[in-house]
Amino acid sequence: MSDAFKFKIVIVGNSAVGKTSLIKRYTTDSFEKDYISTLGMQFSKYEENVEGEKVELFLWDLAGQKTFSTLRDRFYTGSSGAIVVFSLSPEEIETYNHVAKWLSDIKEACGDIPTILFGNKADLVDQNALATSPNYATSDVHVKKFAQDHKIIEYYKTSALTGHCVKEAFQALVFKLYQRAAI
């Protein structure tokens, strides 16, 4: 297979937002209830088929704890795309407040690479309230405006627990990377 269809994707966000669980849901369609914090980095390889072409993905799950920030810069190198994850849970609003920092780190290390934003743990919130009420910091209107202002390809509300939008969201980034490489 040509390198044209091999992509390194970094998945970043605060600790405990569900990065590892999202990758597991996407690659094995399963969910592990026991939480084990990622130490440093976890690497997964996965293959997708896009328009009849085999696409090889290297998913780099980067630890969200501040203690690993110096290591993260090295892990960003060579990334084709990125996924920034925050938690939609009202108790974890600080994870959304840190999204701009994650984006800044990616841009500094990788330049302008295709990036998608995941609001994870959608199963823990009232979807109707997020869709209709601007009173929530993570309401659709606020997050979509943030995504547009920061040139994020798309925003998805996901649930690693139920699988809601996980495959669709990953595939949107993979398709964008494929389109760029196929030109």
Lowest mean pLDDT among 11-25, 30-44, 102-116, 132-146: 30-44
Residues 65-97: tens digit of each pLDDT: 565 555 656 788 899 999 999 999 999 999 999
Residues 43-64: tens digit of each pLDDT: 789 999 999 999 999 998 866 5
Task: List the one residue out of 8, 9, 15, 72 whose CA is nearest residue 41.
Answer: 72
Q: How confident is the model over 5-34, as a mean pLDDT? A: 92
Q: What is the pLDDT of residue 4?
A: 62
Q: Is the model's pTM score more than 0.95?
A: no
Task: List the one residue out of 87, 63, 88, 66 whose CA is nearest residue 11.
Answer: 63
CB atoms within 10 A of CB 29: 10
Q: Whole-angstrom Cα distance, residue 105 to residue 100?
A: 9
Q: What is the pLDDT of residue 63?
A: 66
Phi and psi dihedrals of 135, rounded to 5? -75, -15
CATH 3.40.50.720 is right for the domain spanning 3-182: no
Structure tokens at 101: 């920092």
Q: What is the pLDDT of residue 24?
A: 94
Is residue 40 predicted with pLDDT exceeding 70? no
Residue ranges covered by each domain of the chain: 3-182
C-beta of residue 47 within 8 angstroms of C-beta of residue 57: yes
Is residue 108 predicted with pLDDT exceeding 60? yes
**Mean pLDDT over each residue of the chain, to the nearest integer:** 89
Report the residue count for the chain.
183
